[in-house]
Amino acid sequence: MTYTLQPITQEQAEEIAYNWHYDGKYAFYDMEADEEDLAEFLDNNKRNNSIYAVTEKKQLIGFFSIYQEENNTINIGLGLRPDLTGQGNGYTFLTTGINYIKERYSPAFISLAVATFNTRAIK
């Protein structure tokens, strides 16, 4: 699999925000579940080139949010298209994003917060 990261377009942001819905407890990650996060995700000025679409063969498969913090730390968030979750795609998806961040930002640290119930992501 070859993934490509590039700044997310408005069309891609809207696709994720309104059409990506996760099953069961993972619905916690639906963009529409948090109005404040939804508004920020959809506002190009608030995104400020910090959210990247991940594509494979020109198909949207996920996104990374990349925020520079103090102490040369990058804080990331990410989402994989719902129909691709639980199939072993997470490791390649995550390492692709991390490699992109290392090459572009050369951070001392990369941090990611994961909900404690999300055993798939923790794995």
Helix spans in 1-123 (H): 10-19, 35-42, 44-47, 90-105, 119-122
> What DSSP string runs through 101-119?
HHHHH--SEEEE---TT-H
Provide mean pLDDT across the span 94-113.
95
Q: Determine the pLDDT at residue 1.
A: 66
- 1-49 pLDDT, tens digit per residue, is 689 999 999 999 999 999 999 999 999 999 998 899 899 999 999 888 8
Label residue 123 by pLDDT band (50, 70, 90). confident
